Amino acid sequence: MTETLLLIALAGALGTLARHFIATYVQLSAGPGFPWGTMTVNVIGCFLFGFLWVALGSRWEVSLESQRVVFIGFLGAFTTFSTYVFEVGGLVNSQDWLKAGLYFTGVNGVGVVCLVAGALLAKML
């Protein structure tokens, strides 16, 4: 258990660094005006999540602990967006339209509202 937690932490550090370098490189290459760096990382993260979910889960013999290192550690730090999309996709795949819609609306709509609320509160303090 302790070894797995340390590996998750190490993979998280690597995911964070990968996110930083890829997003920074893309953003500097593209220039200001649109968050190309963040979008690129999120799209790559979604692709990696889907690919590795199938590859590690059914194509290759990889332990659950190793999968946790990849998904929670690396991809969790690289982008939480990939996990969010995976979860929405799961709800859509199971045709649980109400939960999928609530989750999608909640994360996007409520998330933006909370961002603005947090910023306004900080300005008032």
pLDDT score recorded for residue 14 = 98
Please tell me the pTM assigned to this model: 0.77
Tokens describing residue 15: 């995911």
Q: Which of 57, 49, 38, 106 is nearest to 76 (CA)?
A: 49
State whether 61 and 26 are in the same domain. yes
> Tell me: the pLDDT tens digits for 80-117?
788 789 889 999 999 999 999 999 998 889 889 988 89
What percentage of the chain reaches a pLDDT higher than 90? 62
pLDDT score recorded for residue 81 = 86
Q: Number of folded domains in the chain?
A: 2
pLDDT over 80 at 50, yes or no: yes
State whether 60 and 112 are in the same domain. no
Range of the domain at 115: 97-125
Compute the average pLDDT of residues 29-40: 90
State whether 27 and 64 are in the same domain. yes
State whether 80 and 123 are in the same domain. no
State whether 89 and 111 are in the same domain. no
State whether 78 and 41 are in the same domain. yes
Name every residue whose Cβ is closer than 8 Å to that of residue 62 and which is 6 or more positions away in sequence: 56
Distance of CA 97 to the CA centre of its chain: 22
* Under 8 Å between Cβ of 12 and 76: yes
> Tell me: the pLDDT tens digits for 64-82?
999 999 999 999 999 878 8
State whether 53 and 84 are in the same domain. yes
SS3 77: helix
Cα–Cα dist 81/66, whole Å: 21
What percentage of the chain reaches a pLDDT higher than 70? 100
